[in-house]
């Protein structure tokens, strides 16, 4: 009982920024910030997290559902790596991070209605 509640309280939500350009070439995901032109090449695990970063699914669920199952990685290790990855990309504005679900900008802003 305590484990799911703790996760909910500490949940991290991630969403792909709109200020990026990305493309998959030869199986590799390339992401570039259109703000500062920072360029990242994502490996398979990072690409999996990137694709699942919908702003609604908590990061730990993404890791358990996609990373641990697909790559057979222990949950603790996978979560540590995922948080490091998120920290790096969010520092360049490539990923948005929040402790609440991240809604699409159009829905979030009352000024657009």
Partner 1 sequence: MSALTAILETAAPTALETRVVEIGGMPIALRTSSAKFAGMLQDRYAGFVTTQSAPGDAVRIRFEIELNDSAAGTLGPDADEPEGEDDLQVAFASGLWRMSRGDFSAEWDPATGQGTIRQALNPYSLDSVLRIVHSLVLARRGEFLVHAASAIRNGRAFLFAGVSGAGKTTISRLAPADATLLTDEISYVRKSATGYDAHGTPFAGELARLGAHCCAPLAALYLLRQGPENRIEEIDSAAATQALLRNILFFAHDAELVQAVFEGACAFVQRVPVRQLTFRKDASVWELLV
**What HEC string does 37-84 produce?**
CCEEEECHHHHHHHHHCEEEEEHHHHHHHHHHHHHCCCHHHHHHHHHH
Smallest distance, partner 1 to C-beta of residue 22, A? 8
DSSP, collapsed to helix, strand or coil, labels residue 22 as: strand
Nearer to partner 1, 36 or 70 (CB): 36
Residue the block writes with tokens 């697909």? 70
Smallest distance, partner 1 to C-beta of residue 108, A? 19
Nearer to partner 1, 37 or 106 (CB): 37
Contacts (CB under 8 A) with partner 1, residues 13-52: 19, 21, 23, 25-26, 28, 30, 32, 34-35, 37, 39, 41
# binding residues, partner 1 (CB under 8 A): 13
Contacts (CB under 8 A) with partner 1, residues 64-93: none
Q: Are 93 and 17 contacting, i.e. CB atoms less than 8 angstroms apart?
A: yes
Residue the block writes with tokens 């994502």? 42
Using only C-alpha atoms, the chain has a radius of gyration, in whole angstroms, of: 15
Interface residues with partner 1 (CB under 8 A) are: 19, 21, 23, 25-26, 28, 30, 32, 34-35, 37, 39, 41
């Amino acid at each position: 009982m305590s484990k799911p509640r703790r996760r909910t309280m500490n949940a991290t939500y991630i969403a792909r920024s709109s200020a990026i350009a990305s493309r998959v070439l030869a199986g590799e995901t390339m992401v570039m910030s259109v703000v500062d032109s920072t360029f990242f090449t994502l490996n398979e695990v990072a690409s999996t997290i990137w694709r699942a970063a919908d702003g609604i699914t908590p990061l730990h669920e993404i890791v358990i559902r996609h990373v641990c199952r697909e790559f057979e990685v222990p949950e603790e290790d996978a979560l540590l790596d995922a948080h490091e990855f998120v920290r790096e990309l969010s520092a360049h504005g490539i990923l948005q991070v929040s402790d609440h679900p991240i809604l699409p900008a159009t829905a979030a802003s009352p000024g657009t209605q």
